[in-house]
């Protein structure tokens, strides 16, 4: 998606949205820091569940984006390993807008280059991994298992690893599925409809429109094994292909 695809109004709206994004983060950061310090970090869940959605909703409103959640399950299973389709910078906003209970995000290491994200991410217990080093990433995830399990936290991950991937739904890495098996958590698929169509670039330059987060039924992994893992990953990815209206393209899982 090139900038030439945007009209002047949408381009201007996106610039205002980016300014709103950074302004809100600058204003809320001291409040969040104080809240975390006086609570000795125990307010992390409140920050992610209640404050984060309040912070990003105005940004989407300025962008002309209408965001909604559609439940395809009776309730949101928690704790769980939540997974999403990742193809747009808008995913950052829609993830935070969900306000899922006791959630921690697995994010790329480079997010920490922004001092605000570094401070808030570390203080709220988010997980940063080096995606290009698969074994190192898995090792980092394993080190967090005890904290996640003991605190009954949920985890949010993107099986595609990066928004830059071939096709509408890229190859799935094994990390999220291995983590679900190790934690003995179910997997809850979330499909973002509209993010990719509104913004395919690496910035928040976006078209106005509708984005819907489809939260699906939890997937039990209690009978998954190392031997049948690839087949199960393929089945989950096929669901995403179906939701995206794409035929099965037989892409193998990535270690």
DSSP of 129-150, one letter per residue?
E-TT-HHHHHHHHHHTHHHHHH
The count of other CB atoms within 10 Å of the CB of residue 184 is 10
Chunked into runs of 10 residues, the chain (255 residues) has average pLDDT values of: 63 90 90 90 91 94 94 93 91 92 83 70 77 64 81 92 80 91 95 89 81 96 94 96 80 58
Give pLDDT, residue 131. 61
Contact 94, 195 (CB under 8 A): yes
Question: How many whole angstroms separate alpha carbon 127 and alpha carbon 111?
Answer: 11
Give pLDDT, residue 184. 94
Q: What does 182-236 look like in DSSP terms, one character per residue? A: HHT--EEEEEEESHHHH--SSSS----EEEEEEEPPPB--TT--TTTHHHHHHHH
Give pLDDT, residue 219. 97
Give pLDDT, residue 135. 65
Give pLDDT, residue 10. 81
Give pLDDT, residue 255. 57
Rg (Cα) of the chain, in Å, rounded? 18
Angle at 128 between CA 148 and CA 220, to 5 degrees: 45
Give pLDDT, residue 133. 57
């Amino acid at each position: 998606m090139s900038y030439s695809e945007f009209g002047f109004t949408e381009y201007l709206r996106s610039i205002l949205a980016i300014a709103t994004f950074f302004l809100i983060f600058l204003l809320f950061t001291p409040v969040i820091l104080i809240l975390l310090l006086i609570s000795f970090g125990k307010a992390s869940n409140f920050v992610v569940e209640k404050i984060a959605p309040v912070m990003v909703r105005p940004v989407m409103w300025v962008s002309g984006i209408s965001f909604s959640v559609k439940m395809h399950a009776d309730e949101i299973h928690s704790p769980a390993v939540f997974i999403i389709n990742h193809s747009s910078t808008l995913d950052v906003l829609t993830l935070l807008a969900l306000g899922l209970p006791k959630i921690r995000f697995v994010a790329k290491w480079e997010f920490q280059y922004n001092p605000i994200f570094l401070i808030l991410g570390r203080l709220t217990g988010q997980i940063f991994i080096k995606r290009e080093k698969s074994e190192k990433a898995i090792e980092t995830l394993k080190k967090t298992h005890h904290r996640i399990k003991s605190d009954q936290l949920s985890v949010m991950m993107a099986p595609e690893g990066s928004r830059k991937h071939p096709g509408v739904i890229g190859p799935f890495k094994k990390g999220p599925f291995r983590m679900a098996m190790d934690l003995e958590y179910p997997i809850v698929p979330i499909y973002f409809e509209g993010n990719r169509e509104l913004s395919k670039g690496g910035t928040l330059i976006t078209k106005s429109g509708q984005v819907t987060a489809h939260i699906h039924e939890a997937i039990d992994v209690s009978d998954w094994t190392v031997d049948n893992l690839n087949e199960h990953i393929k089945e989950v990815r096929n669901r995403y292909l179906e939701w995206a209206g794409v035929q099965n393209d037989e892409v193998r899982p990535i270690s």
